[in-house]
Structure 1
């Protein structure tokens, strides 16, 4: 309970400090990522042109890099922004969307983890396995199936990269090389809404903008998404469908309190 309280305290920090979260993200989910940061209490900015990313990241509290819709222009911008963030001590959160699916995605993700100092990497098991140098089955940008050793893979990659690694799936894992947190919040319906993984990464970025404990930040972001998904599902009327769920998901993020976080968070350390 004490550890969950420490994680939940970050929600108050976000609402008080309103961190500016700079995104270089994909155009499929950019609006949802912006809205979920606003719902949590942060402030999003989605600047991705090379001519301004270094200037923009300099005033941000955190930087989120999401490779969901890669192109040469934004790849260059990601490295400019990431290296500028490193020089200024601004945390960088990476979402390696689809790593392992194509040569471009895998090579870009591997370059980012090699050349940019990261605070958190958040992905599904296929993406995290690809970064760890293994092979995992992918379907488009989604993992094709579960992995029994997600905690071990996450812990090993966290140790290798010197950052926090979060793996989202049926059971979510957060690891930093010395701690492994397991999270059982969420529901399969979240997978039916495009971009819930991207949104979870944006939540992690928001929390990372108010603390130097990036393990706590990653856990807070993942628990927030899972818990909000549970509450949104419970709030659906009999005739509501996936569109209503998407709206209610934002509603629940907006209304979430530290007390609800503590009461509903399903977190323990291995």
Structure 2
């Protein structure tokens, strides 16, 4: 699927957090997509209008960026541009919970890409999480993901040791990856950006299948990367780029 993104070369508008903006931009470039990071409310509508996909990531959200997210999301809905929501650390504070509730109420998302703790917070399930970590609990995340997908009319990707992807009806389990990736800031955020590129490069009838292939490619890139934290990022970006090379 990464090779399909490279062939399509979509422009992806990322309203994301400042911790991962550079990493996300470089990761999108590695798969052949074009990133643009814009959160000024005076221009987001115009930027969305010229983009092929939109990522909304709440990692460092504030009162100014939430308004930009809403304007951008509504414009993308108007133009039928696919949108990915990454509800980073939604369970960490009441403020983040209110932000995500508002986003889900006012914007129609194509995909929610989250970890188990973030999913549980969105669903109001019992779960113990710390900050942006996945945390732990006894709820069945597959069941919750299906319920959330049906409630909001979108796909849900719960990523972790095994990824679970569903639209509330069909579903995929994607295994693999590298434990080192869990110790690297921004791996999930980049994945959300690449998922936006995947949606922008896919036939709408094949979105779920294409996203499953994207998750598989992402895990494969991690598996091919070195285990040392210091060199993992460079190796991972190189491997993402190799996988995205257009097949002859």
Distance 2:244 2:165 in 1: 22
What residue is the counterpart of 1:243 in the other structure?
A: 230
Choose the corresponding residue for 2:214, options 210, 218, 221: 221
1:147 offset after TM fit, Å? 5.6
Please give the residue correspondences for 1:110-259 in structure 2 after superposition, counting only pairs within 5 Å: 110-145=101-136, 149-211=140-202, 212=204, 213-233=206-226, 241-256=228-243
Output the TM-score relative to the length of structure 1: 0.86
Aligned residues: 245
In the alignment, which residue of structure 1 is the partner of 2:82?
91
Q: 1:75 aligns with which of 36, 50, 66?
A: 66
Shift of 1:138: 1.2
- Give SS of 2:165's match: strand
Looking at structure 2, the residues matched to 30 and 146 of structure 1 have their Cα atoms a distance apart, in angstroms, of 30
Secondary structure at the aligned position of 2:225 is classed as helix
- Bigger relative CO (Cα 8 Å, ≥ 6 apart): 2
TM superposition shift of 1:66:
0.2
Q: Which range is displaced more, 94-103 or 131-140? A: 131-140
5+ residue gaps in structure 2? Answer: none
Please state whether the residue corresponding to 1:22 is helix, strand or coil.
strand
Contact 1:62 1:205 (C-alpha < 8 Å) held by counterparts:
yes
Matches within 5 A, 1:54-69: 54-69=45-60
SS in 2 for 1:110: helix
Q: Per the alignment, in what secondary structure is the counterpart of residue 224 of structure 2?
A: helix
- C-alpha separation between the residues in 1 aligned to 2:20 and 2:72? 20
Unaligned runs of 5+ in 1: 1-9, 261-270
Contact 1:120 1:214 in 2 (8 A): no
Residues 63 and 92 in structure 1, CA contact (< 8 A), matched pair in contact too: yes
Residue 258 of structure 1 and its aligned partner are, at CA, apart by 8.0
Quick one: distance in 1 between partners of 2:214 and 2:28? Answer: 11
Equivalent residue, structure 2, for 1:263: none
RMSD: 1.7
Q: Is the Cα–Cα contact under 8 Å of residues 13 and 55 in structure 2 kept in the other structure?
A: yes
Structure 1 segments, 4+ long, off by >4 Å, are 257-260
- Under a length normalisation based on structure 2, what TM-score does the superposition of the two structures give? 0.94
Aligned-partner Cα distance in 2 for 1:134–1:50: 33
The CA distance in 1 between the partners of 2:115 and 2:90, in whole Å, is 10
Partners of 1:204 and 1:120 lie apart in 2 by 8
